Amino acid sequence: MLPLLQPCIQLGLSGSQCAGSTCRTKPWAPPYIHTPPPHPTLPAGTYWVDPNLGCSSDTIEVSCNFTHGGQTCLKPITASKVEFAVSRVQMNFLHLLSSEVTQHITIHCLNMTVWQESTGQTPAKQAVRFRAWNGQIFEAGGQFRPEVSVDGCKVQDGRWHQTLFTFRTQDPQQLPIVGVDNLPPASSGKQYRLEVGPACFL
């Protein structure tokens, strides 16, 4: 949970209908100097937060989970792209106020290998690489590697499968992931699609 989450007010309307201070109906009270405990009355949901405590015009929309340690989750603009609607200044403060970050990315694939790394196996030449926020690279056989709980894309049987990547780090500046490189080109009978999860900060 970020310290000084004021304003962290649940939206009564969608982000496209409500912006700035017009939907601030339930602010934190009092302003917290240190990380607050999970709030006993606010429900988990969508909130505006202002990590740099500056002008309210640059607040960012996040999902707050007050019952599981106070995760502050930043969602991508769309689940099919690694793009986030946040300024570099606000992201820098979000990193400074956090101690760990987690993000999940799933690649759904049809007859297309995207990873294949395990004991005794050489990483596939076409293994994807992930660009971190700070420019570092997560890759098979590299210094930084994602956790891969399922690598179904190595099965090429004419049906859709998926490979699940988890990025978990105590260096908050690594996330969110901002690029997926070396994806094989789609062709007849070979396709893929991305499912990008939120970057959740603690």
Domain locations in the chain? Answer: 1-74, 100-197
Hey, is 24 helix, strand or coil?
coil
What is residue 22's predicted lDDT score, i.e. its pLDDT?
Answer: 21
Average pLDDT score, the chain: 78
Quote the pLDDT of residue 85. 92
Q: Give the 3-state secondary structure percentages of the chain, helix then strand then coil, rounded to 5.
A: 10, 30, 60
Pick the CATH number of 100-197 from 2.60.120.1000, 3.40.50.300, 3.90.1650.10, 2.60.40.2310: 2.60.120.1000
- Model confidence over 136-193: pLDDT tens digits? 999 998 899 999 999 999 999 999 999 999 999 999 999 999 999 999 888 889 999 9
In the sheet that holds 101-110, the strands lie side by side as 9-10, 45-49, 60-65, 71-74, 191-201, 101-110, 160-169, 147-151
In angstroms, the CA 27 to CA 17 distance is: 19
- Banded pLDDT at 119 (limits 50, 70, 90): low
Q: pLDDT tens digits for 64-92?
A: 887 767 788 999 999 999 999 999 999 99
At residue 25 the predicted structure's pLDDT band, cuts being 50, 70 and 90, is very low
In this model, does residue 3 exceed pLDDT 50?
no
Q: Please say whether the beta carbons of 201 and 172 come within 8 A.
A: yes
The encoded tokens of residue 134 equal 């700070």
